[in-house]
Chains A and B, each alone.
Chain A
Amino acid sequence: DGGITQSPKYLFRKEGQNVTLSCEQNLNHDAMYWYRQDPGQGLRLIYYSQIVNDFQKGDIAEGYSVSREKKESFPLTVTSAQKNPTAFYLCASSATGNPRDYGYTFGSGTRLTVV
């Protein structure tokens, strides 16, 4: 079955470490997105990519980095510069570069905790 796979499901990071969250999709979607969700808050956009080898900053890109070397993959690195990285991270994709028509398909998320 087609879908989006995020790994790991749970991730623990020590202060000062960089960690990379994986996001892979086999839906043949062009656009991919990374969101962060904090308790009681809405989803906030970190980065998005509408085509391979191109990506744009979202509303809260500071302390994060991404790459889009393959259509299927859009990994997110949480760097030590991110001051409050504990959150639920969600990866999504859309059928075309325009999610207006089809909405998003989400992965099951990664819960990152700083210890």
Chain B
Amino acid sequence: RKEVEQDPGPFNVPEGATVAFNCTYSNSASQSFFWYRQDCRKEPKLLMSVYSSGNEDGRFTAQLNRASQYISLLIRDSKLSDSATYLCVVSPFGNEKLTFGTGTRLTIIP
């Protein structure tokens, strides 16, 4: 089983819609969680950290479910500029290295 698993998509979503995707992780001792965004042929950029209580940043909401070992990302009122690949990132306890999922590709359709 991979340490971090994501549905690769693609998710093709009309502009203005709400879209959500999940990511599962295998190490129950994992401590830190992030969502990164990667545009085509560019470097990943931190979108948001994921806190235990869940957190929101504008149109983006991230949640953590430790019992089921998954994190989620919800995008409301999607924009064309949201088209990108979204990477789920986990940091195992006691391990300084981040582990990246393979990403979920999202395309917002006009």
Contacts and interface: CB of A to CB of B under 8 A. Distances in A.
A40 interface: yes
B101 A100 contact: no
A74 interface: no
Contact of B91 (A35, A43, A58, A100): A100
A101 B41 CA distance: 26
Interface of A is mostly: mixed
Interface stretch (A63-71, A76-84, A106-114): A106-114
Interface residues of B, number: 23
A104 B102 contact: no
A53 interface: no
Interface stretch (B14-22, B42-50, B61-69, B73-81): B42-50
B102 A41 contact: yes
A23 B38 CA distance: 20
A100 B42 contact: no
The 3 closest A-B pairs by CB, nearest first: A100-B32, A106-B43, A42-B102
Contacts of A90: 43-44
A97 B96 contact: yes
Contacts of B31: 100
A80 to B, nearest CB: 27
